[in-house]
Amino acid sequence: MEALAEQEILITLAGAGVVRGGRKLVSGVDLTIARGEIVTLIGPNGSGKSTTAKLATGVLKPSVGTVTRQPGLKIGYVPQKLTIDWTLPLTVERLMTLTGHFSASAIAAALDAVGAAHLLKAAVQELSGGEFQRVLFARAMIRKPDLLVLDEPVQGVDFSGEVALYDLVRQIRDTTRSGILMISHDLHVVMAETDTVICLNGHVCCRGTPTAVKNSPEYLRLFGERAGGALALYQHHHDHEHHDDGCVVPEGQTHDHSHGHEGHDHVR
Ligand SMILES: Nc1ncnc2c1ncn2[C@@H]1O[C@H](COP(=O)(O)OP(=O)(O)OP(=O)(O)O)[C@@H](O)[C@H]1O
């Protein structure tokens, strides 16, 4: 992340809370999301992750505190579940146009950006979990959002698919410079590239970099027994270089703009 003064803040929640039927669903939430920042919400079931995301996106209004969004902010949303009539045939191409009219070239570009260009004519019913998530990413990104909200992006995806999807999230952040708000329903796995983890338990229990949260007494108190004291960080290191368009430079070729990357492993 850039220095604080240079950050373009997209959304600010200040002391925000939601009360329903006299009950506080979530309270006292302070958070900002800046352009190019990845913020991940974690917490047990019912701790207020979805409610906080809804406050940020404007689906819910705060009962207490304030929520400020940059004027004209465009938000792309990747839902946790999509209600589809699985008995009706539906191609990826058609799914992309269900919620808006987009040109064939815009659809092709959005699918290409998530590595799913070849799936244009595929039946949605026949996609793997990881392919389906990629198509949902493309569907959210086709509007070129300033902020992408991902509700459990790796749900129903096996480990190698999970690694690839986290890579894709990082790549989307790097290429589009959108802000990313991620809800992780898995308590213990957070993308290491997350700039800020916010751990909720009806209120903000702790926050910081993944490493800071992993070591914080509040996190250990909240999840210690179940988590075995470990917040697993998915990490990405490079031993390859990228062209300016993000493509990997083939082995044996050189690229002027060295990224200074070292080592390549995926750890979680
Ligand atoms: N519209 C609503 N009216 C009343 N209570 C609600 C409403 N929406 C959510 N809640 C309650 O608010 C609390 C926070 O819910 P929320 O969905 O934000 O949690 P979460 O952390 O996203 O949970 P999960 O991991 O289970 O999805 C829960 O106790 C939930 O039952």
The rounded distance, in Å, linking the Cα atoms of 87 and 7 is: 47
CA 137 to chain centre: 10
What is the DSSP secondary structure assignment for residue 238, as one 8-state letter?
-
43 lines ligand 1 (CB under 6 A): yes
184 lines ligand 1 (CB under 6 A): no
Model pTM?
0.81
User: For residue 12, what are the β-bridge partners?
Assistant: 32, 68
**Ligand 1 pocket, mutate which of 47, 150, 187, 189 (most atoms under 8 A from CB):** 47
* 131 CB-near residues (< 8 Å, 6+ apart): 116, 119, 122
41 lines ligand 1 (CB under 6 A): no
Phi, psi of 31 (to 5 degrees): -160, 150
From 3.30.70.3420, 3.30.300.30, 3.40.50.300, 3.40.50.150, which CATH number describes the 4-74+146-236 domain?
3.40.50.300
The rounded distance, in Å, linking the Cα atoms of 259 and 152 is: 30
51 lines ligand 1 (CB under 6 A): yes
Q: CB 27: neighbour CB atoms within 10 A?
A: 18
Q: How close is the Cα of 130 to the center of ligand 1, in Å?
A: 26
* 247 CB-near residues (< 8 Å, 6+ apart): none
Helix (H), strand (E), coil (C) string for 47-92: CCHHHHHHHHHCCCCCCEEEEEECCCCCEEEECCCCCCCCCCCCEH
Q: CB 247: neighbour CB atoms within 10 A?
A: 9
Phi, psi of 222 (to 5 degrees): -70, -45
Per-residue b or e along 220-236, where b marks 16 or more CB atoms closer than 10 Å to that residue's CB = bebbeeeeeeebbbbeb
> Contact, 149 vs 141, CB < 8 A?
no
Residues 47-86: tens digit of each pLDDT: 999 999 999 999 999 999 999 999 999 999 988 777 777 7
The rounded distance, in Å, linking the Cα atoms of 67 and 54 is: 11
The CB-side HSE value for 202 (13 A sphere, CA atoms) comes to 5
Residue spans of the domains in the chain: they are: 4-74+146-236, 82-144
- Report the candidate in 159, 226, 237 with the shortest Cα–Cα distance to residue 188: 226
In tens digits, the chain (268 residues) has pLDDT values of 555 557 899 999 999 999 999 999 999 999 999 999 999 999 888 999 999 999 999 999 999 999 999 999 999 998 877 777 777 889 999 999 887 889 999 999 999 989 999 999 999 988 988 898 899 999 999 989 999 999 887 777 777 778 888 888 888 999 999 999 999 877 667 777 889 999 999 999 999 998 888 888 888 887 765 554 456 666 555 454 544 444 444 445 554 443 333 333 333 3
